[in-house]
Chains A and B, each alone.
Chain A
Amino acid sequence: MMAGTAVSPGYRVARWGYVAFCVAAFIFLIAPILVLVPLSFNAEPYFTFTEGMLRFDPEAYSLRWYRSVFDGDEWTRPLANSLVIGLSATVVATVLGAAAALGLAHPAMPGRKIVTALLISPMITPVIIAGVGMFFFYSNLGLAQTHVGIILAHAVFGAPFVVITVSATLAGFDWTVMRAAANLGANPLVAFRRVQLPLILPGVISGSLFAFAASFDELVIVLFMGGLEQRTLPRQMWSGIREEISPTILAVATFLIVFALLALSTVEWLRRRGAAQE
């Protein structure tokens, strides 16, 4: 950290303390997530490592909880619901969010600050507050207990992510390039497709991943507004945790961890590619 310092014993102790503390903190962050993965292969219906598992006895491991995920529709229907709701909300959020980001990034945009604040407000309002309001509002419109209601709610929570990631790709964008394209005969649509789209695409993809992940993990709105037909994966896990906790939930959790890893790698890959191009 500090090259050329006369290293005192006190400093060395502090330095070791610092490293040990950070290692412990990283373990605190990551261990609770990783611990679920081996447990999901438990042959017994327990939530802890059996002696056999600790001996790495192959008999102690099994795929039974993974099979039970696909037995019946207890988990497959919520999965299908989550995918339908998540993908629909993502499409709405991405289209509206990317367009808004393009408008916001334009130098001529009037009232940029207040519009930005309005557009990201759904993301930064505690969901419990928004959830209560949406419950009243959508019930009045007859949209409670419908897919449409939940999709609209999730889309409005997801759009800010797209606005932010797309705006980031447009930061420092030289708008005279667009005028140059126009002068060279490109109509605005062509100019957008050939100049801006390639630039914002990584932001659009990251943003839509954020939006999808937000919907895929959202529970409060589903609890308030969803009926039996709108049971999503988080909703099913919520019942699973509260009512009849079975290790099947660990298999589902492992699946969600893999999803998180994939989403995270994609976003990081896009971010680094963008950083390398600059």
Chain B
Amino acid sequence: MTSQESPSVGQPPARPLWRRALGPRLRAAGLALPLVAFVSVTFLGPMLSLLTKSFHDPEVADALPETMAALRGWDGQGTPPDEAFAAVAREFVAARTERTLGRTANRVNRVVSGMRSTIMGDSREMVDAAAAAEAAGAVTDGAFWRETMIAIDPRWGGPEPWRALEAAGQRFTARHYLKALDFERGPDGGYVRAPEVWRIYVPLFWRTFLVSLGVTLLCLVIGYPVAHMIANSPPKRANVLLLLVLLPFWTSLLVRTTSWIVLLQNQGIVNDFLVAIGLIGDEGRIAMIYNMTGTFIAMTHVLLPFLVLPLYSVMRSVPPAYMNAAVSLGATPFQALRRVYWPQTLPGVGAGCLLTFILAIGYYITPALVGGQSGQLISNMIAYHVQTSLNWGLAAALAALLLGGVTLLYVVYDRLVGIDRIGLG
């Protein structure tokens, strides 16, 4: 294509019309294509696998395929057919010998608590029964296993453990989302809201929302005058002041978090200072970190530049003539500020606040390091389920819910500012 697009001097090339129209478009698209492909694979791929993981959970179904097949025709009432007993016994005994049953039992336990001990305890006796039957040369059919299992644990005669297995064996399921919204499985298999004291995630979402809102408002209260001062200083001073905002922006998040620990901890600089000037006694050192206060202060510090910078760029474009006109028409400075200046800065306020809020609700590192127990947010819970409890379905559902919220906010941001206009300081 290149040779055809470099015509010799003074002689326009004779190209077909479609090519003249399409060529530049193809070339432009071709330049963007590698990154589009890269983002699709390395970023959209993971996002898709996140969403998939949140409702696709094949592990139990794959571990107990025969049991699931045998339970397919069962109506969920009374005792299931004998094939189900035979299948579950075969699969439990086999998995137990291969030491993979514990994993499956854990999965089932997440759906109905208590199932882990039922499965692990009963299966041990089932292994013994299978061995004894083999030694005696007895027939181990469905009827045999029904009697044996009910003898080991009478609960197998009722529908509850079977319903639990069936529920855990669903490949496509909403249960992670239900759990993420604090619903739990009731005795009849339907989902009901958990009792208030056991609700974890909805209150945590709520707390994350409130903390983000609080941090955003605090950033606005601090950032508005700061942005105003930078925007209305002579250029030299404005540049210096801008650097004071940009340095924290560029400084490693971990450095800033470390410094808040150094400043705020019990034996830290602020407490030492307060004791030294006699404001508090040595006994009365204030707990400013490893709690919600720490999360609040550190997050405000980290996010403040994200609010100041967009606000500053809007304020810079507000012509001072309007304020002067308002004042010379008799408005007090405060009236002029409220009725003339503030409305003109609203686009910056909206953009800055939204960006700050969106960043705040996904914060993980800062609350994890300075938040203690009370300062943890939803992202800390997501990380916990990824790294510690290994309940990946639930982690995915929590992250997907958070993603939904963030996407909603970006739609608002797009209406307000335009998503392609996100700038950098």
Is the Cβ of B333 less than 8 Å from the Cβ of A11?
yes
B contact residues around A159 at 8 Å (CB): 35, 38-39
Q: A29-B245, A32-B260, A137-B45 are in contact. Are A103 and B423 (CB under 8 A)?
A: no
Q: A4-B328, A21-B225, A182-B6 are in contact. Are A130 and B47 (CB under 8 A)?
A: yes
Is the Cβ of A264 less than 8 Å from the Cβ of B243?
yes
CA distance A36 to B7 in the complex (A): 62
Most buried by A among B3, B251, B365, B403: B251
Closest chain A CB from B217 CB (angstroms): 15
Q: Is A25 on the interface with B (CB-CB < 8 A)?
A: yes
Chain A 75-116 per-residue mask, 1 if CB under 8 angstroms from chain B, else 0: 000000000000000001000110110111011111011011
A contact residues around B423 at 8 Å (CB): 164, 168
Q: Is B267 on the interface with A (CB-CB < 8 A)?
A: yes
A contact residues around B301 at 8 Å (CB): 28-29, 32
A contact residues around B362 at 8 Å (CB): 125-129
A contact residues around B245 at 8 Å (CB): 29
Closest residue on chain A to residue B324 by CB atoms? A2
Q: Is A188 on the interface with B (CB-CB < 8 A)?
A: yes
Q: Is B61 on the interface with A (CB-CB < 8 A)?
A: no
Q: A2-B327, A25-B222, A132-B395 are in contact. Are A126 and B406 (CB under 8 A)?
A: yes
Q: A153-B42, A210-B424 are in contact. Are A260 and B36 (CB under 8 A)?
A: no
Q: A47-B262, A217-B254, A223-B387 are in contact. Are A33 and B27 (CB under 8 A)?
A: no
Is the Cβ of B46 less than 8 Å from the Cβ of A217?
no
CA distance A220 to B8 in the complex (A): 54
Closest chain A CB from B13 CB (angstroms): 10
CA distance A29 to B302 in the complex (A): 9
Is the Cβ of A1 less than 8 Å from the Cβ of B232?
yes
**Choice from A46, A130, A241 contacting B258 with Cβ under 8 Å:** A241
CA distance A117 to B422 in the complex (A): 10
Q: Is B272 on the interface with A (CB-CB < 8 A)?
A: yes
Is the Cβ of A253 less than 8 Å from the Cβ of B410?
no
Closest chain B CB from A116 CB (angstroms): 4
Closest chain A CB from B87 CB (angstroms): 30
**Choice from B35, B251, B332, B422 contacting A99 with Cβ under 8 Å:** B35
Chain A 114-155 per-residue mask, 1 if CB under 8 angstroms from chain B, else 0: 011111111111111111111111101000000000001101
Q: A14-B333, A185-B6 are in contact. Are A133 and B49 (CB under 8 A)?
A: yes
Is the Cβ of A256 less than 8 Å from the Cβ of B251?
yes
**Choice from A29, A104, A124 contacting B358 with Cβ under 8 Å:** A124
Is the Cβ of B422 less than 8 Å from the Cβ of A124?
yes
Q: A219-B365, A238-B254 are in contact. Are A264 and B38 (CB under 8 A)?
A: no
Q: Is A213 on the interface with B (CB-CB < 8 A)?
A: yes
**Choice from B39, B272, B406, B410 contacting A122 with Cβ under 8 Å:** B39
Q: A14-B333, A132-B396 are in contact. Are A110 and B29 (CB under 8 A)?
A: yes
A contact residues around B8 at 8 Å (CB): 185
Is the Cβ of A237 less than 8 Å from the Cβ of B258?
yes
Is the Cβ of A220 less than 8 Å from the Cβ of B364?
yes
Is the Cβ of A119 less than 8 Å from the Cβ of B333?
no
Closest chain A CB from B311 CB (angstroms): 13
B contact residues around A131 at 8 Å (CB): 386
For chain B, the count of residues having a C-beta within 8 Å of the partner chain is 102
Q: Is B148 on the interface with A (CB-CB < 8 A)?
A: no
Q: Which of A23-78 contact B (CB under 8 A)?
A: 25-26, 28-30, 32-33, 35-36, 39, 46-49
CA distance A234 to B378 in the complex (A): 22
Q: Is A228 on the interface with B (CB-CB < 8 A)?
A: no
CA distance A131 to B39 in the complex (A): 14
Closest chain A CB from B158 CB (angstroms): 37
Q: Is A193 on the interface with B (CB-CB < 8 A)?
A: no
Closest chain B CB from A182 CB (angstroms): 6
Is the Cβ of A26 less than 8 Å from the Cβ of B244?
yes
Q: Is A200 on the interface with B (CB-CB < 8 A)?
A: no
B contact residues around A108 at 8 Å (CB): 24-25, 27-28
**Choice from A2, A100, A261 contacting B35 with Cβ under 8 Å:** A100
Q: Is B202 on the interface with A (CB-CB < 8 A)?
A: no
Not counting A1-B323, A4-B327, A168-B423, a sample of 19 additional A-B residue pairs whose C-beta atoms are within 8 angstroms of each other reads A29-B245, A35-B259, A47-B265, A112-B420, A117-B419, A122-B43, A128-B362, A153-B42, A156-B43, A183-B9, A185-B8, A187-B5, A188-B2, A217-B252, A217-B254, A219-B365, A242-B369, A253-B258, A256-B254
- On B, residues with C-beta under 8 Å from A are 2-3, 5-9, 24-25, 27-36, 38-40, 42-50, 53, 222-223, 225-226, 229, 232, 241, 243-263, 265, 267-269, 272, 301, 304-305, 323-324, 327-328, 332-334, 336, 358-359, 361-365, 369, 379, 382-383, 386-387, 392, 395-396, 399, 402-403, 406, 410, 419-420, 422-424
